[in-house]
Structure 1
Amino acid sequence: MPDVHPADVQKVRARQRELGIPESFEWVAETTPSLRAAAEESGLVVQEHPLMVLDPGASAAHVDGVSGNTSAGQHQPLAGVSEIVGVGTLPAARRRGLARAVTAALVADARSRGAATVFLSAGDDDVARVYARLGFRRVGTAPIAEPAE
């Protein structure tokens, strides 16, 4: 892949502003390594997240005995692939296995809909360890670049 330059990022950011959408970039660091420097030079802040995929054949362990409206998430299936996104638990309900149960349920639903590949970006290495216990393994880094708040 050709190198990405700050001017390239600026063009995309201008178009994002024209369209009224967030100025945000997400990519796989290992496939486009030059994007990080270009994003930072154009004024964006880059955060890195573990990119993880569920091992083939794994279904993610089922967790019984969880209920309530304190944890949520979703998956986005397309052509045999599904990305798990937005898994979160209210702070008062953390450390009870709720996010793990939600993730297991999302994996089961993705598999039932024909997803052979299920992947996600973990918030950080601590969160990645939770997903690893469900059968996910790190395959790369998923940077996200956004304007400073």
Structure 2
Amino acid sequence: MHWTDLNPQLFFAIQAVADVVLCAAVVFILGKVNRELKRRPAGIDAGSITELKRVIEDSQNATAALIGAMEESKKALRDISRSIDEKEARLRGLMETASARIDELDGAGAAAGEPRHDGGNDEVIRLARQGFTPAEIAGTLGLAEGEIRLILDLARRRSDSR
């Protein structure tokens, strides 16, 4: 006999018994879960509270350390900025002194009737007027780019002061 030969009412009866067993199992599991939930105390236990307090304290300590480090960084940046400002002022003073000294020497040389020797400064200024960049001029003449910039800046200041 094959299972397809069984009466459809028998299949219905087997299905009904399986449904009842399944419902009973669900009710049983829900009852167990409900009892477990009732046994547990509501709220947070003391161990969890202690752990949360420790985490909060650690966070506060880390935040305080971070703020301290940021304050130190701000102070260091202020010191660096102040140092840069002082060096810039010193360089400007040196440039003005050098420019004044050059003008003084130019005036003394012109008064004595001596021809003026710039040591190549005229070539730097000529190339700059032709549109070359300080880097290109430095490469062409074999000088440092900073030296080229200084020569051009002094020449500009000299022409502005006249």
* TM-score, scaled to structure 2: 0.19
Return the structure number with greater helix share.
2
Q: Give 1 or 2: higher strand fraction.
A: 1
Instruction: Report the structure number with the largest CA radius of gyration.
Output: 2
TM-score (norm 1): 0.21
